[in-house]
Structure 1
């Protein structure tokens, strides 16, 4: 991460997942990264859908960070996968998608944005998904997951406007990691090329490294291309 200061500090939330662990390892291999903190549900009992859990986790971290990478999210929750048709829509399943994929990141922003450096370059990234793009939706289906990721994108866009007032050198970004060989995509990627987690992590970190403050609040793919809302 050559755009960040020598000795930068990083935080990865969702570090026990396939992409989160790959991002964590990539940062550990970065000689410019002086310290990396990690948080996850399995290792730290962090529940991003519970504000008290998020607030307490943030309160336990000392100092400021130059990079926060939130790699949380799910496509299948409690055994319920994406809908193929309207008749499969279930209110409880839809609310769980919104809780994890939209509310959770919003709470992360609320309680962790204050941990970012103010007078140096800073980067905050959230895993989104191309299927959350309204303009790029040509196939239909997956209503709950698509809508929750579209909501996430709006949260990031809105937060970036407020964040720019106090962190003029920082960038907030929604990132599409590509189709990655993790448990999330295993049942839904037949016939599609899948990146290894470490490949996706390296590509996304490279994209982040090149973003400028005027690009904050936007939606990018792993190859650096912009994705329409």
Structure 2
């Protein structure tokens, strides 16, 4: 299959939520790609970003790290303004930020556990942060080269696929993320027609996010970070112009809304 980036010899890339897990895996893989000129990576807390910051010391010209909380629009705007001063255009941005549990926030098993403040936190991180990135990254995508804005979503956010129930906040916030970006893809098609906007389901990956919920996952369905990143990069590389606004699984199949 023809690579979406065929003909682009030097790529500038942003990885949002790169301190650990899938995001950090993307950074490591992208640094091994000779097409990549520079990776602009974000993290939230320096305490959890030490491997990323150490990697940046080994790649001082190809990996730039920034502290950004994507739930704070002022921080997203300041970061993208900085990028515009350092680079003329982005070719790829991958948003890997998301929460499943955080402090007292746990996936709800029943309606009795619904709590408005916890629901708001799910939406803040999993939904609103993603659309803020789409808003502020748009100027960096408005150029003549092919480009891609990809966001890690989750199959559990598919309304059509929901047959088990539970996990209200996580499901709903991922479904909202999909709608936000499906809508953004339509606007991007007018304002930045060479940019694809897609949502990606990574499969169950052996990360801190999924670790408490892996007990019933068959070994063959639990992916290493390296495998997940490789599979998703293959999906992204094989996209076509008709794929913008779509929701893809790790194997390249389209998922129902």
Shorter-chain TM range is over 0.9
Query: Does 1:145 pair with 2:146?
Result: no
**Residue of structure 2 equivalent to 1:206:** 234
**In structure 2, C-alpha distance between the alignment counterparts of 1:49 and 1:227, rounded to whole Å:** 27
| 1:217 aligned to which of 222, 240, 245 | 245
The structure having more radius of gyration, on CA atoms, is 2
| 1:46 aligned to which of 68, 81, 85 | 68
Q: Is the 8 A contact 2:248 2:254 kept in 1?
A: yes
| 1:32 aligned to which of 35, 38, 59 | 35
- Stretches of structure 1 that go unaligned for 5 or more consecutive residues are none
Q: TM-score, normalised by structure 1?
A: 0.96
**In structure 2, C-alpha distance between the alignment counterparts of 1:166 and 1:213, rounded to whole Å:** 15
Q: Is the 8 A contact 1:124 1:173 kept in 2?
A: yes
Show structure 1 runs of 4+ deviating over 3 A: none
**Residue of structure 2 equivalent to 1:102:** 127
Count residues with an aligned counterpart. 229
**Residue of structure 2 equivalent to 1:56:** 78
Query: Does 1:21 pair with 2:24?
Result: yes
Query: Does 1:180 pair with 2:205?
Result: yes
| Distance 1:117-1:28 versus aligned 2 partners, 3 A rule | farther
**In structure 1, C-alpha distance between the alignment counterparts of 2:251 and 2:191, rounded to whole Å:** 29
Q: Is the 8 A contact 1:77 1:96 kept in 2?
A: no
Q: TM-score, normalised by structure 2?
A: 0.86
**In structure 1, C-alpha distance between the alignment counterparts of 2:20 and 2:224, rounded to whole Å:** 13
